[in-house]
Amino acid sequence: MRIDLHTHILPRAWPDWTAKSGYAGWVSLAHDDPGCPVGCARMVQSLPGGGTKFFRDVQPNLWDPGVRLEQMDATGVHAQVLSTVPVMFSTWARAQDAHDLHRLLNDHIAEVCRAEPDRFFGLACIPLQDPELACRELSRAVSELGLRGVQIGTHVNGLNLDHPTLRPVLAHAARLDACVFVHPWDMLGGDRLTNYWMPWLVGMPTETTIAIMSVLFAGILDELPDLRLCFAHAGGSFPGTLGRIRHGYQCRRDLFPPAARDPVAYLRDAASGVPARFWVDSLTHDAAALSHIIELFGTSRVALGSDYPFPLGEDRPGELISTLAALTESQREDLTSRAALAFLARG
Ligand code: CO
């Protein structure tokens, strides 16, 4: 059984949030854009003063559950974990407007999950620019809609995940027994990351490293022992930078809080076999890198994630896992389903 922890979905359409809110910056799906191939749609962002800016072209597998199910069947994926497209986080917007949009997106994800409860699990989105509203929507999404947790960004308008204003949200997720999937967005780098798709290829892995550093060195996992966190794209650059990070921590302890621990304290303990204290998905596009994260986290903390339906994802989810020869059947099952189920499990 394969469960894909990292997939994105949107409704086919939703009301014009630019008209509704009275300001620009919102995303919409243009189904009749002349520049777009038949059957596809163009994701665009409204501009102040009118008009739109191109974001990306998308196919029906983004919004049509029927198409998704066909493709899942064709690639041997039993279930997908659905989360919104990170551009919908809308942390730049007025909180109430983002909250209204998130309610609509969460209702949609819940509806798709209810129609096919064996095939889809859902993660919510919440307006993190207002932590109180965010907690309220997380409660509703989990308790009323039956979603398993939430997808959040790697920062909120420049505040890293260790910022004190965000702690109540993480604490609330732990209290609700809701998992938290951390997906990079609003990538750093500005104009220097304009070329060569660098926001996605360099910015995203760096964002995820910042998020993991912030969580670990602030002691959030010690403060919230029940919090379940998973970082997208196999933890970004963190696994490859771990040696440098540890060395830096050891030689300049003065730059870290007194209670901070060596990051390996949160990773798999090879001697006892105790797995890492947090999850990552399996999306590396590189067998050696995947073997490395399995070594660091343990098979029960690496969950198959494909980034479906986007081009940077793994076309046949789980194919790279299947190429790793040194795994037992049980370890393979961890990677393809049990790690995800443990992350999603409530109660
Ligand atoms: Co993604």
Question: What DSSP character marks residue 63?
Answer: T
Query: What 8-state DSSP symbol labels residue 334?
Result: I
84 Cα to the center of ligand 1, angstroms: 9
> Ligand 1: distance of its center to the CA of 183 in Å?
7
| Ligand 1 center from residue 252 Cα (angstroms) | 34
Q: Are 44 and 319 in contact (CB under 8 A)?
A: no
Q: Would you say residue 87 lies in a domain?
A: yes
Establish if 248 belongs to a structural domain.
Answer: yes
Position 334: which residue type? D
For residue 258, the CA-to-ligand 1 centroid distance in Å is 35
Query: Whose structure tokens read 């046949």?
Result: 316
Distance 184 CA to ligand 1 centre (A): 8
In-domain check, residue 21: no
- Does residue 224 lie in a domain region? yes
305 domain residue, yes or no: yes
Say if 30 falls within a structural domain. Answer: no
Strands 155-156 and 229-231: unpaired
The CA 61 to ligand 1 mean position distance, Å, reads 14
pLDDT in tens, the chain (347 residues): 999 999 999 999 999 999 999 999 999 999 988 888 889 999 999 999 999 999 999 999 999 999 999 999 999 999 999 999 999 999 999 999 999 999 999 999 999 999 999 999 999 999 999 999 999 999 999 999 999 999 999 999 999 999 999 999 999 999 999 999 999 999 999 999 999 999 999 999 999 999 999 999 999 999 999 999 999 999 999 999 999 999 999 999 999 999 999 999 999 999 999 999 999 999 999 999 999 999 999 999 999 999 999 999 999 999 999 999 999 999 999 999 999 999 999 97
| Spacing, Cα 297 to ligand 1 middle (Å) | 20
CA 251 / ligand 1 centre spacing (Å):
35
∠ CA 156-157-160 to the nearest 5 degrees?
Answer: 50
Q: Which residues contact 105 (CB under 8 A, 6 or more apart)?
A: 10, 11, 14, 84, 88, 125
In a domain, 310, yes or no: yes
**Running DSSP on this structure, what letter comes out for residue 39?**
T
Joined together, the tokens standing for residue 231 give: 């970082």
| CA 200 to ligand 1 centroid distance, Å | 10
pTM strictly above 0.95: yes
Whole domain around residue 244: which residue ranges? 3-10+60-344
Q: How far is the CA of 305 from the centre of ligand 1 (A)?
A: 9
CATH number for position 308: 3.20.20.140
Distance 112 CA to ligand 1 centre (A): 19
Distance 280 CA to ligand 1 centre (A): 12
- Residue 125 CA to ligand 1 center (angstroms) comes to 13
How close is the Cα of 11 to the center of ligand 1, in Å?
16
For ligand 1, the distance from its centroid to the CA atom of residue 310, given in whole angstroms, is 8
Size of the chain, expressed as the number of residues it contains: 347
If one counts the domains in the chain, the total is: 1
Task: Give bridge partners of residue 123 from the DSSP assignment.
Answer: 149
* DSSP H helical ranges for the chain: 17-21, 65-75, 95-115, 131-139, 167-176, 198, 204-217, 220-223, 238-251, 287-297, 319-323, 329-333, 339-344
Flag whether 47 is in a domain.
no
Q: Cα(265)–Cα(210) distance, rounded to whole angstroms? A: 18
Residue 230 C-alpha to ligand 1 middle, in angstroms? 12
Q: Nearest CA to 343 among 289, 312, 297?
A: 297
Ligand 1 centroid to residue 85 C-alpha, Å: 7
